[in-house]
Amino acid sequence: MARLEGKVAMVTGAASGIGRASALRFAEDGAAVMCADRDLAGAQHTAALVAERGGSAAALELDVIDSAAVEAALRQTSSELGGLHIVFNNAGVGGGGLGWDKVIAINQTGVYNGLYHGCRMLAESGGGVVVSTASIAGLVALIGVTTDPLNMEYGNGAYQASKGAVVQLTRQFAVSFAKHNVRVNAVAPGYIYTPMTQPMRDVEGAEQFLANLHPMGRLGQPEEIANAAAFLASDEASFITGVTLPVDGGYTAR
């Protein structure tokens, strides 16, 4: 039996990158998947890719900043797909040029909304799993593409602060909901080949510079984050909660 057989998952930020790869992986492992994103067309395309591969998926438009909309999306997932067992809070932005308030709203408050409503709903239905996307930036200070602190990809610190908050929220919700059979974990990607990192990688010499920051000497693939998220969502991780798992080619081990 596939390790997520009979499960229903909602994945936010599912229109591209890590979210799309995770929706595909969850479905490959047997889950029915609700693909949620502000980009509805992108989410629908992800759902179509799942269907092409023989899986079950649906899509909905979601802005994770809106707490009521997040709750409604979770309830729609449950009613439309026949339950709710896994919530993957993956939606996020990189921070470059967006400003403090916007980055915090999406990356921190958005994840909080998914944790708050997701944990409560899972507890009410007997348990489940919440996984969130943190970052190496929530664990260590980043080295920028340039040495100019006014011209760094995450120069205002909002991205780092938001991802550090995800790490701590993961711990707190894990402890608060452990007795309700809800496990709460996070993944902390290194630099990954996604649309989010494309502007950085487009800078001359930056891709090799970023690759060299990882002891493994390369950037990661979205599927490698999806694999970790699927593991944490599965019963194979049944005694793991409150953990932020670096998937970073050794970046945080230096």
**What single string gives the DSSP state of each residue in 22-62?**
HHHHHHHTT-EEEEEES-HHHHHHHHHHHHHTT--EEEEE-
Q: Look at residue 209 and give its three-state secondary structure.
A: helix
Is 112 among the residues known to form the active site? no
Q: What is the DSSP letter of 192?
A: B
Question: Which member of 112, 116, 154, 159 is catalytic?
Answer: 159
Q: Look at residue 8 and give its three-state secondary structure.
A: strand
CA dihedral 178, 223, 2, 127 (to 10 degrees): 20
Q: How far apart are CA 28 and CA 38, in angstroms?
A: 24
Q: How far apart are CA 211 and CA 134, in angstroms?
A: 19
Active site residues: 159
